[in-house]
Amino acid sequence: MGFGLIKVIGKQMQFIQLNELQLSKYDDHYVRLRHIFERTIELIETFHPDEIAIEAPFFGKNVQSMLKLGRAQGVAMAAGLSRQIPITEYSPKKIKMAITGNGNASKEQVAKMLQSTLGLKELPKNLDSTDGLAAAVCHFYNQGRVSVGKNYSGWAAFVKQNEKRINK
């Protein structure tokens, strides 16, 4: 389970941290959930975020995997809600679209774009942490203009509808 932190100053975002929780070392699913909750609370108490953005659950073929993912997301959300922090969910496609302009981009494409945008020196081996960072950056790009199901017919349409995000 990856996470990423950015700081917003005015209209600029600044990279703080990206990482992932190493959950595979825990055999018990409930211990994993407790670890997610505790680490999320620790991050909240350390960095005092104003908002939390997460990737919304997506539909997959493996019901057991989806159930476990939903529980993990719910525990992370509960940690934020326990500290009265607003939470916004974004679909995986919306996050990819915000970062790369392509809702079907690969994890590697998203990671490379984040590296370029935020000036990251290197990328982690496991890209779960860049997924978390991508949700934060997507939220930054969508501040004050969250809309559900916005579609683009292509790159030209995306650019035209997002002129403020383009550095000239």
Contacts with 162 (C-beta within 8 Å, 6 or more apart), sequence order: none
Question: Which candidate in 20, 55, 89, 108 is catalytic?
Answer: 55
Per-residue pLDDT at 152: 53
Active site residue 131: no
Measured CA to CA, the distance from residue 99 to residue 102 in angstroms comes to 8
Domain of residue 122, residue span: 2-165
DSSP 8-state code for residue 28:
S
The domain that holds 23 is classified in CATH as 3.30.420.10
Q: How many domains does the chain have?
A: 1
Whether residue 27 lies in the annotated active site: no
pTM attached to this predicted model: 0.81
89 marked as part of a ligand binding site: no
Q: How many helices (H) and strands (E) does the chain have?
A: 6, 4
25 φ/ψ angles, rounded to the nearest 5 degrees: -75, -10
Q: Per residue of the chain (168 residues), what is the pLDDT tens digit?
A: 899 999 999 889 999 999 999 888 999 999 999 999 999 999 999 999 999 999 987 766 778 878 888 899 999 999 999 999 999 999 999 999 999 999 999 999 999 999 999 999 998 888 888 999 999 999 999 985 544 445 555 666 666 776 766 666
Question: How much is the pLDDT for 134?
Answer: 96
